[in-house]
Amino acid sequence: MRFFKRTFKWLKSSRKHKLLSLALKIKWTIKFLTLDTTSFFIAKILNIRFFRHSLFLSFPKNNYMVANTENSLKIILNSSDLVIGKHTFIDKKAYDSHFVDLAFRVLKKSNINLIYDIGANIGTIGIYAVHQGLAKECLAFEPEPNNFKLLRANVLINSLEEKIKCFNYALSDRADETLDFELDTINHGEHRVRKNWSEGKYNELSREVIKVSTKTLNNYFDKKKSINSLIFMDTQGFEGYVLSGASLFIDNSILIISEFWPYGLKRSGCFEKFLLSLDNAKYESIIDLENRDRVYPFNKQTIIDIANKLGEDSMTNLLII
């Protein structure tokens, strides 16, 4: 009799165990299915620009986000950056990379040895160019410490550390100097060297100022690699100083894409330096990449005329060939 009672208890406990086990399996299956469904739903939602825009604006400020671009790049960015970071995340495109594509179409080039990404920010130009096979290598220069950390992180996350070298310097006309560098809290691509301590149009004197070190572009001239190369320069009005320290490149007519912002150049006191550094160069044409049908003869007066047309409130990108 005792044997039958024990056996019955064992069967009951065994059945409970099996039922419990089955319940747990069902519970975890539902949980995983829910996670998969949620992930799938989120992925679909983030394919819609409106929702990416809403997510970016609602995300806590000064935090890191990751943009997945249409070209399979991953770009880590700061949620407080309302220009380069915002547009890269929302548009799913490396910011300003279309200027690189356009330049290569105009030049009818398939690739170059080296791109010099000056004012590299978080890497949307140099990383894009190397990832797409437009440039074999890149030297990227970014003086601002937080942008520089993101630049290095983005090189690593895209497995390009063998092809892209990063330098935490501002390029100028003199090496090994220390410059004042002002920070914009809204547009992290608007940090710039401060050469002027008077009040400006954009409330510049309210910005935090840090110190940055300098090198010249001539320090990085390579006789073999630099001949088939491209300079991409966006330094918020400091381009005249950069070109003044790039005589080896200019003497060899190395291709240049430069942001051209008359207000910034004049505020930094280097509009004349921009003109003077190119005065005896052997380039042939200037192409306004914002208006690609506009091809101008290369000379000093052309640059002055473009500046006058732009005025102080506008900017463009010039391809000098």
Residue 30 pLDDT greater than 70, yes or no: no
Q: Sorting pLDDT into bands at 50, 70 and 90, what band is 77?
A: very high
Residue among 249, 194, 251, 195 at smallest CA distance from 219: 249
Q: Residue 274: enclosing H or E segment and its boundaries?
A: helix 271-277
- State the Rg of the chain over Cα: 27
What band does 111 get if pLDDT is binned at 50, 70 and 90? confident
Res. 90 pLDDT band, cuts 50 70 90: very high
For the segment 158-215, what is each residue's pLDDT rounded down to a tens digit?
999 999 999 999 999 999 999 999 999 999 999 999 999 998 999 999 999 999 999 9
What is d(CA 118, CA 236) in angstroms, rounded to the nearest whole number? 11
Pick 305 or 291 by higher pLDDT: 305
Residue 312: pLDDT band with limits 50, 70, 90: confident
Sign of CA dihedral 197, 202, 205, 211: negative
Percent of the chain with pLDDT over 70: 86
129 closest CA partner among 104, 147, 108, 106: 104
| The pLDDT of residue 31 | 53
> What's the CA gap between 241 and 1, in Å, rounded?
101
- Average model confidence (pLDDT) for the chain? 89
pLDDT digits (tens, 9 = 90+) for 200-233: 999 999 999 999 999 999 999 998 888 899 999 9
pLDDT confidence of residue 4: 40
Tell me the pLDDT tens digit for each residue of 229-284: 999 999 999 999 999 999 999 999 999 999 999 999 999 999 999 999 999 999 99
Mean pLDDT of 74-83: 97
* pLDDT value, residue 42: 65
Which 8-state DSSP code applies to residue 60?
P
Helices 84-91 and 49-58, packing angle to 10 deg: 150
* CATH tag for 65-320 (out of 3.40.50.300, 3.40.190.10, 3.30.70.240, 3.40.50.150): 3.40.50.150
* Mean pLDDT across 67-92: 96
Q: Which of 122, 143, 268, 274 is nearest to 204 (CA)?
A: 268
C-alpha span between 256 and 107 (Å, rounded)? 12
Specify whether the CB–CB gap between 138 and 163 falls below 8 A.
yes
242 burial (CB, 10 Å; 0-12 / 13-18 / 19+) is buried
Whether 52 contacts 89, CB under 8 Å: yes
Return the domain boundaries, the chain.
Answer: 2-45, 65-320
pTM (2 d.p.): 0.86
- Residue 8 predicted with pLDDT over 50: no
pLDDT interval class at 110 (50, 70, 90): confident
CA–CA distances in Å: residue 218 to residues 1, 84, 125, 240, 241: 99, 28, 21, 14, 12
